[in-house]
Structures are given as C-alpha cells and as structure tokens.
Amino acid sequence: MNSRRDFLQKLTTSAVAIPFLPLYGSSEQFNFYDQLYDGPVLRVAIMGLGSYGTRVAEAMQNCKRAKLVGVISGTPAKVKDWQAKYGIPKKNCYNYENYDSVKDNPDIDAIYVITPNALHHPAVLRIAAAGKHAICEKPMALNAQQGQEMVDACNKANVKLLVGYRMHFEPNTLEIIRMRNEGEFGKILFFEGLSGFKIGDPNQWRLNKELAGGGSLMDIGVYSINGARYMVGEDPIWVTAQETKTDPIKFKEGVDETILFQLGFPTGAVASCLSTYSMNHLDRFFLNGDKGFAELQPSTGYGPIKGRTHKGELTKPHVTHQTLQVDKMAGVILAGEQAVVPVDGVEAVKDLKIIDAIYEVCKTGAKKTLEL
C-alpha cells in the first residue's frame, strides 16, 4: 500500500475535475480527481481478463487510491498482453492453479474476482486463505449458503470482502437516496425496476447453468433486486414471482429467460420488477412516494445515468462507474470508510437470499416470507 506521487502527477494532467461524493454521505462535494493525492494506495490484482475485467482495468488507470498491479488468468496470451499494456511485473502474474502463492507476495493487497458466477465462491475462499482482501463481482455466489461461507471465511482471515455494486457510488443514484432520507418523497409507496436485454450467443457462459447458476436473474436481475432495496431504503419481508419462457432451446432447464417478481416492505411499500434476457430497452427505476417521485433511465447501465424527480432533472456529472467504485472501495479497505449503501459481503448475502426465494416461489407459486 505505497504512495505513487509520480504516477499521480502524470495522471492529473489528463484527469477531469469532477465533484466527488465522500463515502460518509456528506452533502459536501469536492473535486477529488482534480487534487494531488499522496496517501496510501490499494494494490489490486484482477482475476479474469475478459470483457468486464478489461473495462475495470481501463477504469482503474484513472483511480487515485488504487492501482492495478497483478493478474490471474488461465490464458497465457492474455497475461502477456496485460503485462505489456499495464506494466505488470512477471512476479505478480498467476494462473488458476498457482495463485494461492499470492500469500507470499507483499506487493498485492486485494484480488478482484471477475469470473463466471460459479467460480466466485472457491476463488474468494482461496483468496481469504492467502490473507488478501477480496472484491467480487455480483452475484457474489450461486446461492446464499455459498455467500455466507465466503463472508465467514473472510471474517476468519480478518480480510475485507467487498462486492462490485458500482451503482452504490453513482452520483445521481446517491442524490435520490439523499432526498429519500431527508423525506423529500414522503412515505415511499412503490418501486418499479426493469432490467433486461436480448442476450446473444447461445453458447456463452451466462446461458450455462453450471457456470451462471441460472439465467437473467443471476445477471441483470440482480440490479432490480438490489435497486429495490436501496431505492426504497428497506429490506423486503415477502416475495412472489412468476417465470416465463418462450425459447426452451436457448434457455434450457434451470436457465431463466424472464422472471417477474414482487417484493413487499415493512412500511407497506411494494416493488414490481422484471428480469429478462429476451427484451431490449429495459433499464429503468421508478420510485413513488406520497410527496414526490424519482426516475432513473438508464438506471444501471455504464452511463451516463440520467434521471429526474418531481423537483426537476438530476444533473450530477458522470464519472466512470468502475473508477469511482474501486477508488471508494480502497477507502473502505485502507481507511475503514463506510459507503452510503453497504458494498460488503453481508449486503450480497441478502440479495442471494432473495434470489433463492424467487427461484423457489417460481416453482411453488406461493408467497414466501423473507428473513434477511
């Protein structure tokens, strides 16, 4: 966790001044990315060098409190390319068989797991055993039992477990949360979350139950599940759900195409959400209260996120989500800072419990009580 004054002096010549929301949720904003930072830096290795891993790596080039220093991959050619592109030393390069030896590498503080869903659980257990902090993409695991095992392993090893909830740091999203907390929407009555797109290649891992753990719900549907919770500001106490499948060849047994689900909250608010792999143009959140409303469309895409409330358009400037996410996660790990909306493993286990329940009630047709 060394400082890198020279690196950041070069970085700030190209950085854009953007208001930065502190992790503590203060209304104070400051031009974090327009200031020289010379504090501790989280040194991160990325596991999984696919398309999203590449997106995170590119975004991390603009981070101030985190730096990409290592890779873990089963593809030697990718490792070689990343070494050349990002200046990663050979001693910080691992494959899926030997990365346990990262425990002996003091130059890596955390490993960001960006692999197919089924690989998250074993990877985080090994990372914890190696004494490194873990950042894991969502869904954190295939089910709540696996997720809890991951939380327990990291607690036992005294390392952090964070999950890639990038929207928890997105400025317009946080503005809605601030307004709700200050009562500007009044009593929250209703939330709608629409998350979906037409998925392409039928042979990709997202349509393989062994690797994905399901279908659309385990991918895009997580956004509406988690979004319902942070937009309403409560955890749900019951769930109902219905599954629809129009293409059983592409969406095989155990791989859901479209799921409608409904959530009920302690204060009486209800949520109606859609998760699908068969419809485009579905990226919208709507929150309704007895004094006002908030809408985000797009609500969870890579940005810019756009929205409005009963008071007018939301105008927070766009910052690359993964840059904000990793920088602020560095604050959580290095300085014990707290996110406005939690991004730890405990948060992820709650989402996994809801996913487990949705799949169950799709089969039973019954309303299920939730205990998160």
Name the catalytic one among 37, 223, 230, 277.
223
The upper half-sphere exposure of residue 56, i.e. CA atoms within 13 Å in the direction of its Cβ, equals: 30
Q: Which residues of 141-156 are buried (b: 16+ CB within 10 A; e: fewer)?
A: bbbbebbbebbebbee
Instruction: Tell me which H or E stretch contains 4.
Output: none
Strand order in the sheet with 110-113: 93-94, 66-72, 42-47, 110-113, 133-136, 161-163
Euclidean distance between CA atoms 188 and 269, whole angstroms: 6
Question: Which residues make Cβ contacts (< 8 Å) with residue 266, sequence separation at least 6?
Answer: 234, 235, 237
Residue 41 neighbours by CB distance under 10 Å:
22
Euclidean distance between CA atoms 261 and 275, whole angstroms: 8
| 212 contacts 339 by C-beta, under 8 angstroms | no
Closest CA to 41 of 107, 129, 130, 114: 107
What type of residue sits at position 199? Answer: I
- Residue 112, token pair as written in the block: 């960001």
Name the catalytic one among 64, 67, 132, 138.
138
Question: Which residues make Cβ contacts (< 8 Å) with residue 29, sequence separation at least 6?
Answer: 19, 20, 21
Euclidean distance between CA atoms 217 and 260, whole angstroms: 10
Question: Which residues make Cβ contacts (< 8 Å) with residue 61, sequence separation at least 6?
Answer: 11, 68, 86
Euclidean distance between CA atoms 93 and 79, whole angstroms: 7
Instruction: Tell me which H or E stretch contains 244.
Output: strand 238-244
138 in active site:
yes
| Residues catalogued as catalytic | 138, 223
